[in-house]
Structure 1
Amino acid sequence: MQTLSAFGPDFPFAYDDWIKHPAGLGQIPAEMQGEKVAIIGAGASGIIAAFELMKMGLCPIIYESDKFGGRLRSATFEGTNGIVAELGGMRFPVSSRGFFHYHDLVGCRSEPFPNPLSGAAGSTVIDLEGETLFARKLDDLPALYREIATAYDAALAQHAAYPELREAIIARDAHRVKSLWNPLVAEWDERTFYDFVTRSDAFQALSFRHREVFGQVGFGTGGWDSDFPNSMLEILRVNLLGFDDDQRYVVGGVTNVLWRLWHATPACAYWREGTSLASLNGSATRSRATAISRKPGGAIVVTDQWGNEDDYAAVLATCQSHLLTTAMDVDEDLFEQKLWMALDRTRYMQAAKTFIMVDRPFWRDEDPVSGRPAMSMTLTDRLTRGTYFFDNGADQPGVICLSYSWMTDALKVLPLSAEKRVDLALKALKKVYPDVDIASHIRGKPLIVSWEADENFLGAFKGALPGHYRYNHRVYGHFMQDRLPEHQRGLFLAGDGVSWTPAWVEGAVQTGLNAVWGIMTHLGGTSSAANPGPGDLYPELGPIALKD
């Protein structure tokens, strides 16, 4: 039975089939084997691309400005043996088959994520405008919530050919996906998520209160009002690809997927048995990349923060696009000006998380009168917005994500210390759970993140505004370099911000694999005829181009 995967919709290419095919991803000419290529950024896109390039016989040299893992950032609570807070990506939809290929390859384990109204959460509390509701499933909530869910399904069917598109994606019918999706691009690129909701017949028949609650509580993982100004195309992709459904978390921390790839010793075309990314890099990444330039002979030069220069046959930049102008001195001629425009117009959303470690999973304590747990996964209009609970076992400390917020809600805590953020969160949750003393259970030091305050990111993830499709098209398709002038070839881009699905790791995986094909081809290599790569099918199935 076929199941949903991240197959398109802009470019319906089966990446999971490509990376699993026995013929491999392709080969490079013998004279290029052992050639050095630079990878800027040790996140999901960079490490996975480096892993595949190593298997082809290239020598990926990895630059990292701060923490290995990028936004797959599992932070360990001090003094513990692997009790982690996922400061970056923490929810991984099962439709992300590319990511789970590597997750499974290195022997990681995942469990269902405790999203609202999910079996993993057990129970959910919704607290809006001072009214607190308890539910184990959607039917436990007032009719208004079911009306919202029904209205959104109806809006998708009315405006987005949703059932037909979902069926085509599940069936992996690439041409059917394109025929249904391409008209939606022109129709919805310049219109917002909020416009989509309010223009639907289903929501027009409901009240403003319905739209307000939809924004606060949303569907799947929680509230969506921070996405209301975004292009509706981004939301449609999330829905169509099942990114907001059936999610899992990686036991022990998602950074382990990348660490294990770093140390993995796969069979390689050129390197001796036992070669790993770690061994090729002397067991450590290079320092921050501060400049990218081209020599007269064609080699691309990467300079690190200590002034060390190295020549490379190709370079893959997986960092956030704004860092190419704010943190690095990149020769302007390496990209055409229309691509620079696209990179500069990329808009990143803010996000903040506050985690605490507690002595035990006390939230499971049952009230003898009501039979309810002491606390539940909580969605609220208060400062915390989303509160999640992670049970590591009765004999292990538990972890609470006290607050996960975006945009304006994230900016409210931006200048505050970890202790102040925890204090505000506890005060907010005290209004919801007046009889629970959370502070008495806290152990160790809180862990927090505000991605917009990190000089290596300047924001959490891309949030395309109306009219940004053309920019995304330029950036995403840049790995197809055969028509570029020589002086613009050899520098590639990847990362979830380059993808059509920002904030989801599958976009980082897929664009990293696009870059693998691009670098292989740039160095004279080819895919196997039995296993054509993304660039081989791009002319036929690539994203539709809108007129400038």
Structure 2
Amino acid sequence: MTLSDTPDTHPRLDHAADPAPPAQPGLTAFGPDFPFAYDTWLTHPDGLGSVPPECHGEEVAIIGAGISGLAAAYELMRMGLRPVVYEASRLGGRLRSEPFADGDPATIAELGGMRFPRSSAAFFHYVDLLGLQTRPFPNPLTEAAGSTVIELAGEAWYAQTLDDLPPLFREIAEAWDGALETVLHLGQLQQAMRARDAAAVKRIWDELVPRWDDHSFYEFVASSEEFSQLSYRHREVFGQVGFGTGGWDSDFPNTMLEILRVAVCEYDDDQHLIQGGAEQVPRGLWDRPVDDAMHWPSGTSLSSLHEGRHLGAVTRVYRTADGRLGVVDAEGEERTYRTVLASCQTWLLTTQVQVEEELFSQEVWMALDRTRYMQSSKTFVKVDRPFWRDIDPQTGRERMSMTLTDRLTRGTYFFEDGPDDPAVICLSYSWMSDALKMLPHSAQRRADLALQALDRIYPEVDVRQHIIGEPITVSWEADPYFLGAFKGALPGHYRYNERMFGHFVQKDLPTEQKGIFLAGDDVSFTPAWAEGAVQTALNAVWGIVDHLGGSTPEANPGPGDVFDQLRPVRLPA
């Protein structure tokens, strides 16, 4: 031990006079591709903008009633427009909270989005607006989970923190953190995002885009200096266990840019669930009466404008002879509009909806068609109580834990409201090839397969005796109105993403392509995250207002007003 390492045993008399370190502002999804403060725009006292008085009451078509479509509809209603919402399935999109057969609202299966990072400031604006309560999501190695079991190649480890696991896991965590810092300059970029320093964010990020657009996640891991010093087993376990929320090998083929965005925005950290179900957010926007809307009387809601019922599926969108946009629904009813927002999955614009080809450029059509969706499967059961919290008298540990495994289940999560209340187990949450293994099977067969896998990990626990009723399951790729869970961009897809994201700024488009807008997490740079859905919804709101001759307040410019300065970097054709 050197003198500098010697513990200071003498109390400092002047410590009270030391200035406290400044509080570090929380990180939000400020970019990195388009560093615009959507949360600040939303909360500014001058509002988002206005349309000319002669536009008040004008109908605007909204195709898709997920969080993106309904957030846009809500804000357009507040400006005095009349959103007309079309939805082929049910309100909420992939924020779908499915009750079990007994209808108990306290126990639901979150079939779509279920964990929301606190850095999603625009999304949480609406969560807070609706007065919804959240709590930490029981991810692996978190206090909310209590304990975690990692089981790989037939060997299991019980842990409450990373320190409880063998050294291999810390080596993986340190290699991942080191690789990110080496390549991404994570600390610098996040500091710029916290400071809302758009110029610094763009300077760092725009240099990374051309370097990493053509490279996959796996290539990044395998070629990084930090991982190249470790064994193949380290990479294999990293794929199975991952970072933050679990294994990431299903994302290994994706562009590394997509993973870098998750890391820099801390989307895999500090995730929360919404008590009572995430579907409350879009449904809350549908039902919420407003008292600050232009044109509409106090108490108006999207629901009241629709007399409680949205319109059905859209089958056709086309340009009319007088230059308006025609929308035909499944009942054959035809309406025309000056503006249309398509917030459905982009593949539906070439499968479920006959969209006139001239409404988009061939470059945009290429981007819409080449969007790649990832498969996802979940299976849930309701149980009589959170029995997994029971303590095994022999080990002193909980009977079951949040579980990550290379078996069929991949991730198993536990949800509870009280020690004696009914609870819910997500038996299996899997993606891509693991999800496809479930695709042909019934809900009961999927539950049986998951329980068989868990029997191998917990041979002393009889889960079946606690199950109440029938299981609930989902495969988003089997739903004709989704065709997949969310986008997973491949290497080389940045140009497609940039075309879709920037489409809301239409000043340079030919007349025949103006008036139709895109929104949704698959249009954003951060697919699978509700924040991307909300941000693109707000982009579309700006675009629709601009198209109708409206404007934003001088003190509160919108995303289109600053697009030329902040726009995502363009790569050569």
Aligned partners of 1:258 and 1:230: how far apart in 2?
29
**TM-superposition CA deviations, 1:32-89 (whole Å, max 9, x none):** 1110001001100000000000000000010000121000000011113211110000
How far did 1:371 drift? 1.2
In structure 1, the partner of 2:496 is 471
Per-residue displacement from partner, 1:250-297 (whole Å, max 9, x unpaired)?
000111111111111121011011110001111111000111011111
Matched with 1:89 is: 113
Is 1:106 aligned with 2:130?
yes
1:206 corresponds to: 230
Asked if residue 62 in structure 1 is aligned to residue 95 in structure 2, the reply is no
Q: Give, in whole Å, the separation in 2 of the partners of 1:158 and 1:254.
A: 36
The residue type equivalent to 2:551 in the other structure is T
From 40, 45, 61, the equivalent of 2:68 is 45
Match of 2:251 among 207, 227, 240: 227
Paired AA for residue 148 in structure 1: I
C-alpha distance in 2, partners of 1:244/1:238?
A: 7
SS where residue 39 of structure 1 aligns? strand
Deviation at 1:307, TM superposition (A): 0.3
Match of 1:139 in 2: 163
Does residue 356 in structure 1 map to residue 371 in structure 2? no
Asked if structure 1 preserves the Cα contact closer than 8 Å seen for 2:139 and 2:245, the reply is: yes
Q: Secondary structure of the equivalent of 1:90? A: coil
- Alignment correspondent of 2:207: 183
**1:173-193 deviation digits (Å, cap 9, x = unpaired):** 100000000010000000000
Distance of 1:249 and 1:311 partners within structure 2:
39
Counterpart amino acid of 2:544?
A: I
Q: Secondary structure at the match of 2:438?
A: coil
For the residues of structure 1 that align with 2:326 and 2:305, how far apart are their CA atoms? 19
Aligned mates of 1:474, 1:241 — CA distance in 2: 22
Secondary structure of the equivalent of 1:75? strand
Find the residue that maps to 1:536 and give its secondary structure.
coil
Give 1:416-495 correspondences, 5 Å limit. 416-495=441-520
Query: Secondary structure at the residue paired with 1:253?
Result: coil
- Which moved further from structure 2: 133-142 or 167-176? 167-176
Displacement of 1:465: 0.3
Look up the equivalent residue of 2:362 and give its one-letter code. Answer: Q
Deviates more, 1:75-84 or 1:60-69: 75-84
Q: Structure 2: which amino acid aligns with 1:8?
A: G
Q: CA RMSD in A?
A: 0.7
Distance 1:453 1:294 in 2: 31
Which residue of the partner structure matches residue 252 of structure 1?
276
* In structure 1, C-alpha distance between the alignment counterparts of 2:430 and 2:300, rounded to whole Å: 42
SS at match of 1:395: coil
Q: What do residues 290-311 of structure 1 show as CA deviations (whole Å, max 9, x unaligned)?
A: 1101111111111100100011
Give the drift of 1:375. 0.2
Matched, 1:269 2:290: no
Equivalent in the alignment of 2:10: none
Measured in 2, the distance between the counterparts of 1:262 and 1:471 equals: 31
Q: Given the alignment of the two structures, is residue 310 of structure 1 paired with residue 335 of structure 2, yes or no?
A: yes
Aligned residue identity for 1:373:
E
Could you report, residue by residue, the CA deviation over 1:435-479 in whole angstroms, capped at 9, with x for unpaired residues? 000001110111100010000000000000000000001011000
Letter paired with 1:265: P
- How many residue pairs get aligned? The number is 548
Displacement after TM superposition at 1:394 (Å): 2.6
**Offset of residue 512 of structure 1:** 0.2
Which residue identity is paired with 2:505?
Answer: M
In 2: Cα distance, 1:277 partner to 1:313 partner = 19
Asked whether the equivalents of residues 386 and 420 of structure 2 are also in contact (C-alpha less than 8 Å), the reply is: no
Match of 2:409 among 384, 387, 390: 384
Partner of 1:7: 30
Paired with 1:329 and 1:199, the residues of 2 have a C-alpha distance of: 44
Q: How far 1:383 moved relative to its partner?
A: 0.1
Q: How much does 1:392 deviate?
A: 2.1
Distance 2:506 2:311 in 1: 27
Equivalent in the alignment of 2:196: 172
Alpha-carbon distance in structure 1 between the residues aligned to 2:556 and 2:71: 19
Give the partner amino acid of 1:310: R
Q: Tell me the alpha carbon deviations over residues 310-366 of structure 1, each in whole angstroms, 9 at most, x when there is no partner.
A: 111210000111100100111110001111011000000000000000011111011
1:509-520 to structure 2, matched below 5 A, reads: 509-520=534-545
Task: Give distance in 1, aligned partners of 2:167 and 2:192.
Answer: 32
TM-superposition CA deviations, 1:390-411 (whole Å, max 9, x none): 0022332100000000000000
User: Aligned equivalents of 2:167 and 2:421: distance in 1?
Assistant: 39
Q: Per the alignment, in what secondary structure is the counterpart of residue 94 of structure 2?
A: coil
Gaps of 5+ in 2: 1-22
Q: What amino acid maps onto 2:31 in structure 1?
A: G
Unaligned runs of 5+ in 1: none
Query: Which range moves more in the overlay, 51-60 or 154-163?
Result: 154-163
- Work out whether 1:295 is the aligned partner of 2:320: yes
Cα deviation 1:155-211 (Å, max 9, x = unaligned):
011111111111111111100000000010000000000111111111011000000
Q: Pick the structure with greater CA Rg.
A: 2
Q: TM-score, normalised by structure 2?
A: 0.95
1:62-117: CA deviations, max 9, x gaps?
00001210000000111132111100000000000111110010111101000000
Tell me the amino acid that sits aligned with residue 366 of structure 1: I
Q: Could you tell me the percent identity over the aligned residues?
A: 61
1:496-535 mapped onto 2 (5 Å cutoff): 496-535=521-560
Letter matched to residue 465 of structure 1: L
> 3-state DSSP class of the match of 1:46?
helix
Aligned positions of 1:402-413 closer than 5 A: 402-413=427-438
Question: Does 2:364 align with 1:339?
Answer: yes
Q: Which residue of 2 aligns with 1:393?
A: 418
